[in-house]
Chains A and B, each alone.
Chain A
């Protein structure tokens, strides 16, 4: 075991760590923004929407994330240049980077898995509470914002926390489309120093720490949720 390279590459690892965290945070944020309506329409929406949401969840959950990622990056990415005039627009610099494609693919994945969980969460809120809220004269949107969504999230918070950790463990896949996150930095070290195990073990240790930090963070958040004493 030789660790002489660690000092040289430490700044790179920090940059990679920051990109991993950005990727994770943005994917969870956009993914949950999508997952909430996807779960909701499956419970109350008109049937075409409910059916489409169900189909979306099945497809996302039934195919490997790696294939989704490559489809988005290589597939969509190869179609964009054919749109006339797109090179002059503001979004072109974004479309040439790999990072936005990774965020997009991971968000869709989070939306698919968490949409399924939110469906169960929305269904699990007792009907009486929603009726009470309506009887108080709340508009449908206010019922959702004040009662339905908070109660649903409260019930599935531990499940969601577990899912977000799975998302963290999926982020190294972004390395395959040239996003330079932690795993990717580890691969660079491996290529430049010809050490096989040390960079991999170091990367594994980073993820191990990240996972434990996330687990602790989620547990603290969970404790702050109001619980009725049983």
Chain B
């Protein structure tokens, strides 16, 4: 077994360095996609709750379709549609056609998918905010934007946090799907390492361990964050 574990060494001929670079890419893509997803989700939820009928219908179709179609299919569709759209725009303003880099494409695709899920999470959390709080803020004469920033958002966040932490875990695992499309991240690096050395079992175990560590660390982080967010709320027994 000694020689098999040598393959995990950090410097070539070991593949450990490649795996860690892959993990870094995975975290980068996941973090970017999560941030994009949160932005879409926040505005999506506000649109669903306060928007006009056209906006509400559009968002309803967006969240329903995205949540009913497998991520793998969506990733391919959004990737091709995105590059085509970008190139149409670039040609229209007189630039040459390009390919989006793997990192940005991954962030954009996974982010659009996660946006649908976080829209629903935020919508539920916004509805959990007691109306009395908002009415009180209005009665104090706060303008709409200040009500949102000072009252609704801080009260809503603790309700949204369990759902959001779940979404982060799903995002990190969804990035593995990008390997199927050929983006270089942890899953693809592992596949290449396993294919080159024929040590399939060990490399997939190693990748699984890395993903597991990422999940466990994130879970810990989110539970600390949630405790801090809930510090103003009455203790539940």
Contact = CB atoms under 8 A, between A and B. Distances in A.
Interface stretch (B76-84, B94-102, B134-142): B76-84
Interface in B166-204: 169, 173-174, 176-177, 179-180, 187, 190-191, 194, 198, 200-201, 204
A64 B211 contact: yes
Interface in A144-172: 168-172
By DSSP majority rule, is chain B's interface helix, strand, loop, or mixed?
Answer: helix
Contact of A171 (B70, B176, B177, B198): B70
Interface of A: 58-59, 61-68, 70-71, 74-79, 168-173, 175-176, 183, 186, 196-197, 200-201, 203-204, 207-208, 211-212
B73 A207 contact: yes
Contacts of A175: 72
B88 interface: no
A66 B176 contact: yes
A63 B211 contact: yes
Given A63-B212, A176-B180, A207-B68, A71 B73 contact: no
A64 B188 CA distance: 13
B207 interface: yes
Interface in B38-97: 65, 68-74, 76-77, 80-81
Contacts of B71: 169
B70 A183 contact: yes
Given A65-B173, A208-B65, A211-B68, A74 B73 contact: no
A62 B69 contact: no
Nearest to A170: B70
B191 A78 contact: no
Contacts of B211: 62-64, 67
Contacts of A58: 212, 216
Contacts of A197: 77, 80-81
B77 A66 contact: no
25 contacts: A62-B169, A63-B208, A64-B174, A64-B177, A67-B187, A67-B190, A70-B194, A71-B201, A71-B205, A171-B70, A172-B70, A173-B72, A173-B180, A175-B72, A183-B72, A183-B73, A196-B80, A200-B77, A203-B73, A204-B69, A204-B74, A204-B77, A208-B68, A208-B69, A211-B68
Kindly list the 3 A-B residue pairs having the minimum CB-CB distance in the complex, ordered from nearest.
A64-B176, A62-B215, A75-B201
B70 A74 contact: no
Given A200-B73, A204-B69, A64 B81 contact: no
